[in-house]
Each structure stands twice: as C-alpha cells, then as structure tokens.
Amino acid sequence: MFRYLALILFLPWFAIIGFAYWHLPRGLPRPASRRRFDWSVIAVAMLVALGGALVALDMPWQHSGKIWPQVAAVLFAYGAFLSMMFLAAAIRQRIWKM
C-alpha cells in the first residue's frame, strides 16, 4: 500500500518543475506544435520518473532499513524527471530557436 508513498509526496515538486519548464522563458511565441511538444515531454518525463522509481523499488534492499527503498525511488525518479526536462529544453531551444 505504501510502495509509492514517497513518489506521491514528491508530485508537487514535479508539478513545480513542469510549470517552470512550461512557462520559461517568457515572452516567446507558443504555437500549437510547441504546446503539443511540451505536453508530450511532461507526460513522458512522468512515465520515465515512474520507471526510475520502479527500478529502485525492485532492487534488493535486504540489508537496509525500510525507508531506503523509498529514498532511492524518489532519487531515481527525480533524476530521471530532471534529465528529461533538461534534454527537452535543449531540444526545444534548437527547434524553436529560443
């Protein structure tokens, strides 16, 4: 039941990062193609973060406490999410010449 608790508690931070990605840099045109790209990136980043969390949760943690799988899951998910956001920002900059 508590397998995804740490990841659920981290969702507001993912939302803040997604909001920053969506709205920065300001004042640039936002055609429909860019909006679709941004929504797709955020959705894929969430899926990759979930995958990272699942990898961490499925690792053998016999000699550690009960909290460490949750900590590792959040760290893996956060790293995966940020990696996708930085990669997407670089691609978006190339495509739309920001």
- Count of domains for the chain: 1
Dump pLDDT digits (tens) for 77-98.
999 999 999 999 999 888 887 6
Dump pLDDT digits (tens) for 28-62.
778 898 899 999 999 999 999 999 999 998 888 87
Q: Find the domain containing 92 and state its range.
A: 5-96
CA distance 76 to 16: 18
